DNA sequence: TAGACGATAGCCT
DNA sequence: GGCTATCGTCTAA
């Protein structure tokens, strides 16, 4: 298994990190020790002087992780139903992050699929056939609330160290994404600073949440 | 302590 | 395209 990206990766400007995360590998180790691996294909940047950023008006109990050191996870609940995963950037004390909006399955799509649809399916039923079918089910990766459900990411992972291979969630090197395969657009679902072109996605990926 | 409002997704017309 | 479930968080009082 590949080793985690160093903390210095997250010390680059947040827009640079958001772009650079495209193609990177996200590894999730579940409570039972089983892992699932995905590739990041869509991100958004949020900075400290950005009106759309949760930390724009200062530190609160919810956004505390964003004020911590770079290379950790910021996980929060949105609309009372969905968890969203961010990679914290910038030095400790400066609250910036990159939201991970979409991923494509690389390894163990079957487990992600079961996580998504619920616990009705037993481990024994997670066959290769299920895995093949899951690799085409965009619900397990195309969308910030979907990927966290499929990867069982919730508040318990808020603050997780993304630079530690022992962590239950970390990010490693992946596939290089060519500049011509990167699309830059405005961010999704926000009302403030809605015109900032701070969203990035992989044009050739079928797992992008919205075109 | 009440009220407004989300960095969404799924279902409806 | 529109509607809304669902609830934690923040603000104002």
Nearest DNA or RNA nucleotide to A79 (CA to C1'): B6
Cα separation values, A33 from A30, A36, A130, A150, A198, Å: 5, 10, 20, 16, 35
Please write down the HEC assignment for all residues of A130-193: HHHHHCCCHHHCECHHHHHHHCCCCHHHCCCECCCCCCCEEEECCCCCCHHHEEEECCCCCCCC
In the numeric block, which tokens belong to residue A175?
């596939």
The rounded distance, in Å, linking the Cα atoms of A173 and A190 is 30
The pLDDT, as a whole number, for residue A1 is 59
Through-space separation of residue A82 CA and nucleotide B2 C1' in angstroms: 24
- Report protein residues in contact with nucleic acid strand C, where contact means CB under 7 Å: A 54, 57, 60-63, 76-77, 79-81
10-residue averages of pLDDT along chain A (211 residues): 92 98 98 97 98 97 98 98 98 98 98 90 83 95 98 98 98 97 98 97 98 92
The pLDDT, as a whole number, for residue A98 is 98
The pLDDT, as a whole number, for residue A202 is 98
pTM of structure:
0.97
């Amino acid at each position: 298994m590949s080793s985690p990206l160093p903390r210095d990766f997250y010390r680059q400007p947040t827009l640079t990190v958001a772009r650079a995360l495209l193609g990177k590998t996200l590894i999730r180790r579940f409570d039972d020790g089983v892992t699932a691996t995905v590739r990041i294909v869509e991100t958004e940047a949020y900075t400290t002087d950005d009106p759309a950023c949760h930390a724009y008006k200062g530190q609160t109990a919810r956004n505390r992780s964003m004020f911590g050191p770079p290379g950790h996870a910021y996980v929060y609940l949105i609309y009372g139903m969905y968890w969203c995963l961010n990679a914290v950037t910038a030095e400790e004390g400066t609250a910036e992050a990159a939201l991970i909006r979409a991923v494509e399955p690389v390894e163990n799509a079957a487990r992600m699929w079961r996580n998504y649809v619920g616990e009705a399916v037993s481990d024994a039923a997670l066959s290769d056939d299920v895995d093949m079918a899951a690799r085409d089910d965009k619900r397990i990766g195309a969308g910030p609330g979907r990927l966290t459900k499929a990867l069982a990411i919730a508040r318990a992972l808020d603050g997780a160290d993304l630079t530690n291979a022992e962590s239950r969630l970390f990010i490693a090197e992946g596939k290089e994404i060519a500049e011509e395969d990167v699309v830059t657009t405005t961010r999704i679902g926000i009302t403030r600073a809605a015109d900032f072109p701070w969203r990035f996605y992989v044009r050739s990926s079928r797992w992008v949440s919205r075109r």
